[in-house]
């Protein structure tokens, strides 16, 4: 579900990120035009708040580039050659909090949906009861509108038998 954008150099990467949306930037420390660190610095200067999570790739020693990269605000540094396992591990650590938040959000939405469904069941019973009383008393005024409201509420929760009967 992701869209990958490839840049030939640092300047092209800078424009691609700035014109986003971009969730993750994997930048090489030695890109022509602008290094990965330079791309991050320029993003901060020209488009504050646009910077995505960043992984900088380097063939140099970590100590050599670490200070400069940290000063530029990188999220992670990977030493080349990078394996798929290395990248997977770093991505998992970078996005773990986001996945946890999404999971918590999903649990909260499920609980809210269950609460709404319980309230809808109560309301449906009341509406059906009122409609049956009206019909039992031979009252026909607004019964079509009442049945329509019952059908609409039932359909929202995919209770199709009730919706069709109404």
Which tens digits make up the pLDDT trace of 26-62? 888 888 888 888 888 888 766 666 678 888 888 776 5
Give alpha helix (H) positions in the chain. 10-18, 36-46, 62-72, 84-136, 143-156, 160-165
pLDDT digits (tens, 9 = 90+) for 63-95: 666 666 666 666 778 888 888 888 888 888 887
CA 152 – CA 162 distance, rounded (Å): 10
Q: Which two tokens stand for residue 109?
A: 């939405």
* Whether this model's pTM surpasses 0.75: no
Residue 132 CA: distances (Å) to CA of 90, 138, 146 = 62, 10, 10
């Amino acid at each position: 579900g992701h869209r990958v954008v490839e840049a030939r150099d640092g300047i092209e990467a800078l424009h691609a990120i700035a014109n986003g949306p971009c969730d993750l930037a994997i930048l090489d420390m030695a890109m022509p035009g602008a290094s990965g660190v330079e791309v991050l610095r320029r993003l901060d200067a020209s488009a504050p708040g646009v910077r995505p999570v960043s992984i900088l790739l380097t063939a140099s020693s970590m100590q050599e580039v670490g200070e400069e990269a940290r000063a530029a605000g990188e999220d992670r540094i990977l030493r080349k050659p990078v394996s798929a396992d290395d990248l997977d591990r770093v991505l998992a650590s970078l996005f773990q909090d986001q996945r946890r938040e999404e999971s918590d959000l999903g649990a909260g939405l499920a609980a809210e949906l269950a609460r709404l469904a319980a309230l809808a069941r109560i309301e449906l019973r009341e509406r059906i009861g009122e409609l049956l009383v009206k019909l039992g008393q031979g009252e026909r005024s607004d019964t079509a509108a009442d049945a329509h409201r019952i059908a609409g509420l039932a359909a929202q929760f995919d209770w199709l038998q009730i919706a069709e009967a109404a």
